[in-house]
Amino acid sequence: MTRAKVYITYKAGVVDPQGVTIRGALVSLGFQEVQEVRMGKFIELELEGSSSDQLRSRLQSMCERLLANPIIEDFRFELDGEAAGAPGVKE
Partner 1 sequence: MKFAVVTFPGSNCDDDCYEVVKEVLGQEIRFLWHKDRDLKGIDCVILPGGFSYGDYLRTGAVARFSPIMEVIIEYAQRGGLVLGICNGFQILLEAGLLPGAMLRNSFLSFICRDVFVRVETKETPFTRRCEPQQVLKLPIAHMDGHYFADPEILRRLEGEGQVVFRYCTARGDLSEEANPNGSLSHIAGICNSKRNVLGLMPHPERASEACLGGEDGRLIFESLLAGKNGLS
Site residues, partner 1 (CB under 8 A): 13-15, 17-18, 21, 66-67, 69, 71-72
CA distances from 44 to 2, 16, 28, 39 (A): 10, 23, 32, 17
- Closest distance of CB 15 from partner 1, Å: 7
- Closest distance of CB 69 from partner 1, Å: 5
For Cα atoms 19, 14, 30, give the angle at the middle one, nearest 5 degrees.
20
Which CB atom, from 15 or from 29, has the smaller least distance to partner 1?
A: 15
Which CB atom, from 51 or from 58, has the smaller least distance to partner 1?
A: 58
How far is Cα 29 from Cα 23, in angstroms, rounded to an integer? 10
